[in-house]
Amino acid sequence: MEDVNAPHSMGTTIIGVTYDGGVVLGADSRTSTGMYVANRASDKITQLTDNVYVCRSGSAADSQVVSDYVRYFLHQHTIQLGQPATVKVASNLIRLLSYSNKNMLETGLIVGGWDKYEGGKIYSVPLGGTLLEQPFAIGGSGSSYLYGFFDQAWKEGMNKDEAEKLVVKAVSLAIARDGASGGVVRTVIINSEGVTRNFYPGDELPLWNEELEPCSSLLDILSSTGPEPMSI
């Protein structure tokens, strides 16, 4: 029998992409406890400051507590300096917490944001606490299906719309192949003009090979594929 008291983990697809002028972050919304979907519409893109967000994967509890600590420290940092923290400062704080507690934490994070010094930046902090600056980063269980796709599809100098379409397409591909990813797609666009959040319902995502059309219930599938029920 499935243990519903098992720790909630996020079999996940998270993505961060830089473009010419900013960054786009994207994630699916399925949080699971083993084979049980604990939350089908969770928000895995968490605000750290006005200009920096983080995508969370791995243990939901671990990623949330790291985000909460970093948000608190960055708030103090902003008050002391009188200006917003940079993306690099936020990423280094996450790296410090992740590395210092690497034996206890099971979380991989992607930090993305914009600041006036370096523009749009993406940093990956995988399991163990390494800090990697990358033009694009992918993480979670769905990422293993996407490396070849990103090698082919990502390019320098993309505009905002191209970058967001790439992120939505990549998350929908991972949802199609990875049983631990699913639900809706959320994106966050960060640039010099501010932050834009977008939401793409699951029934509006493109369907890939052998995927079924979305249905309201199992009865809809049975009635469309199976014989008529026997009348008594």
Residue 37 sits in a domain of what CATH number?
3.60.20.10
The answer to whether residue 48 is domain-embedded is: yes
Q: Measured between alpha carbons, how far is 179 from 174 in angstroms, rounded to an integer?
A: 9
Write the pLDDT tens digit of every residue in 187-211: 999 999 999 999 999 888 877 877 6
The answer to whether residue 211 is domain-embedded is: no
Write the pLDDT tens digit of every residue in 89-148: 999 999 999 999 999 999 999 999 999 999 999 999 999 999 999 999 999 999 999 999
Write the pLDDT tens digit of every residue in 59-81: 999 999 999 999 999 999 999 99
The answer to whether residue 38 is domain-embedded is: yes
- Please give the residue range of the domain that contains residue 180: 9-205
The answer to whether residue 59 is domain-embedded is: yes
Q: How confident is the model at residue 10 (pLDDT cuts 50, 70, 90)?
A: low
The answer to whether residue 106 is domain-embedded is: yes
The answer to whether residue 83 is domain-embedded is: yes
Q: What is the pTM of this model?
A: 0.87
Tell me the CB-side half-sphere exposure of residue 7, using CA atoms within 13 A. 12
Q: Measured between alpha carbons, how far is 179 from 167 in angstroms, rounded to an integer?
A: 19
Task: Determine the Cα angle at 6 with ends 4 and 7, to 5°.
Answer: 130
| Residues identified as active-site | 12
The answer to whether residue 56 is domain-embedded is: yes
CB 98 within 8 A of CB 63: no
Mean pLDDT calculated for residue range 20-32: 94
Count: domains in the chain: 1
The answer to whether residue 129 is domain-embedded is: yes
